[in-house]
Amino acid sequence: MIGLGFILISTLAAFLQHIHFPKDAERTLDKVTYGTLLVGFTNAAPWVYPSSTGAQGIEAAIVDSFATTLHAKVEWIEGTEEQLYKALRRGEIDILVGGITDKTPWKEEIGLTKPYIETAVVIAQAASQALNNQHPSVEGQPVAVMKGTDEGYYVRKKKGRPFYTTQLPVSKMFSVGYDWQVQDWKMQNTGIVLKKESHVIAVPPGENAFLLALDKYLFEHKAAIKSGLNH
Amino acid sequence: MGNKEHVEYPEALQPKYEQAKKLAWITIGYIVSVVILMFMVMGQSQAMKTAWADDTVGLISPISFLVASAWATKEPNKRFPYGFHRVANIAYICGALALFLLGLYLLIDSVSKLVSGERPSIGMAVIFKTPVWSGYLMMLVLLWSVVPAVILGKKKLPLASDLHEKTLYADAETNKADWMMGLAAMAGIIGIGFGWYWADSVIAGILSLDIIYDGFTHLKQATFDLMNERPTTVSHQEEAPVTQKIHDLLSGMSWIKEVNVRLREEGHVFYGEALIIPEDTPDIITKIKEATRKVHEVDWRIKDFILGIVDKVQAD
């Protein structure tokens, strides 16, 4: 019975594929193909941040190459998070990037892709430190964290002392960063994980053809995106 | 007096009772699988959320049936001299209230989503390393929420009638009606796929109305049961003929001048009394014993029946 249902739904799926299913509520995919992709972004290094050409960073690169597959021009629009979420919700922009994770409080009101990368926020230590420190502990130790993030909270939970800075890493000090940044910093991962993040890209709600196209692009380039992180 | 040994069901019905308990366990296992699978693929579809919530509440009926079966057969004691049959009624009213409130919540939720023009997004899922639209996966899960439910419902319905088990009956009816819920939710997902985002909330709203209606019907009946309404048939459609049968039996006895029969439901069984004005007759004690025995033969559900002699009988 269930097997029969499986066949039925597969047949239905095959038929619907033929008529371009699912469709967008507001035809976003049609509009941006050979057109312009309006991309809102917030300054969220290293994911995306402003540059002379508009934006750069990991997510800027993803959006640029996705736009190429649609033969679309990208127009970058920098704004605040709330402003851009509201614009996205009403379909005034086509994509929103800015280091968004699947835990975003706006997730009920907008469309989110599947996570294109899972990263861990870890504590890194200088390579020289690592030599005589096989089982590192940050208890009572200063740990460099970016000012204005929640990293200090997690460091305190591990009994470390947050050292607030605006420039990471801090040499010869434990420093908080993404697992894939540690190597760039020429440091070593202590294996202490503060939190995990699943990064996503936001699209207008109900634009399911467009969402599926972006989801498929991310799925097919997952490996490339991941290796792109460690230059 | 008139209190036979304390088993809930007569010998002949025991196998059916055991089968009903087994089906209730199967139902619980099955619904848990549906609830988990649905939760995993649910996404933002309001219709799917409604179907999911309905299935979750569907657990209450079989659980309360099993809890009640464990309790209802307990011996009466000093503190609870009427026994524990009413555990079934309490389980019933709890389930009905949960269903009713859930329906109200879902209706408000759907209407507010419709009014604010929310557009559900359904993205990609990966099956066997192949990316597909999640909507297909959701439909497949909904199919799993429909087909076994209908089969289970059909199996439980006749058992519930035979056992005079209202919780089980309501449960079976819900299962049997589940195909509508599942198909409607599928229509909602197809609607989303065609870009008709409003279809999803509209269908969810209709489904929640159905839940409210079910909840209200059961709540009403559960309240009536606790208020000692005269016995009704298990589907609650009509008055059970048992009261009339006892009345006819007793008023046919020559030594009884007038009689008023009162019955109430205690879970699956009936408790009650006949208030009688006797003719002036010798050997009344033997006659009362004989009449009580005959009343118990009318129906197996008559568990505790008392004949009382009064000087005035209230008119029906």
What is this model's ipTM?
0.83
Q: What is the mean pLDDT of chain A?
A: 90
Q: Can you spell out the DSSP letters for A156-198?
A: HHTT-EEEEESSS--TTSEEEEETTTTTTTTEEEEEEEEEEEE
Nearest to A113 among B123, B140, B196 (CB): B123
| Collapsed DSSP state (helix, strand, coil) of residue B79 | coil
Q: Does any CB of chain A come closer than 8 Å to the CB of residue B123?
A: yes
CB pairs under 8 A between A and B: 91
Query: Which superfamily is assigned to B11-226 in CATH?
Result: Cation efflux protein transmembrane domain (1.20.1510.10)
Question: B-chain residues within 8 Å CB-CB of A215?
Answer: 123-124, 131
Residue of B nearest to A1 (CA): B147
Q: A56-112: per-residue pLDDT in tens?
A: 999 999 999 999 999 999 999 999 999 999 999 999 999 999 999 999 999 889 999
Query: What's the pTM value of the predicted model, to 2 decimals?
Result: 0.82
pLDDT at B128: 86
- Please say if the pLDDT value at position A130 is more than 70: no
DSSP state of A22: S
What distances in angstroms separate CA B106 from CA A23, B34, B174, B177, B186, one per listed residue?
27, 19, 17, 18, 18
Instruction: Provide the shortest C-alpha distance from residue B288 to chain A (in Å).
Output: 59
How far apart are the C-alpha atoms of A152 and B126, rounded to whole Å? 36
Interface test with A, best of B119, B150, B197 (most A CBs within 10 A): B119
C-beta atoms of B121 and A5 within 8 A = no
Domains of chain A: 2-116+200-229 (3.40.190.10), 118-197 (3.40.190.10)
Pairing of the two strands B256-266 and B269-278: antiparallel
pLDDT at A129: 72
- Dihedral of alpha carbons B58, B62, B67, B71, sign: positive
Per CATH, the number for B242-309 is 3.30.70.1350
C-beta atoms of B119 and A206 within 8 A = yes
Question: A-chain residues within 8 Å CB-CB of B124?
Answer: 113-114, 211-212, 215-216, 219
Segments making up each domain of chain B, as ranges: 11-226, 242-309
316 residues of chain B, pLDDT tens digit each: 334 444 667 888 889 989 999 999 999 999 999 999 999 988 888 889 998 988 888 888 888 888 888 887 788 899 998 888 888 788 888 888 888 998 999 999 999 989 988 899 999 998 888 898 999 999 999 999 988 888 998 999 999 888 888 778 878 888 877 788 888 899 999 999 999 989 999 999 999 998 899 889 889 888 988 898 888 887 766 788 899 999 999 999 999 999 999 998 887 788 999 999 998 888 889 999 999 999 999 998 898 899 999 988 776 5
C-beta atoms of B123 and A110 within 8 A = no
Q: Can you spell out the DSSP letters for A95-118?
A: EEESS-BTT-TTTTTSEEPPPSEE
Using a 10 angstrom Cβ sphere, with 0-12 exposed, 13-18 middle and 19 or more buried, the burial of residue B158 is exposed
Question: B-chain residues within 8 Å CB-CB of A16?
Answer: 193
Q: Can you spell out the DSSP letters for B226-277?
A: HTTPPPB-TTSSSB-THHHHHHHHHHTSTTEEEEEEEEEEETTEEEEEEEEE
Question: A-chain residues within 8 Å CB-CB of B43?
Answer: none
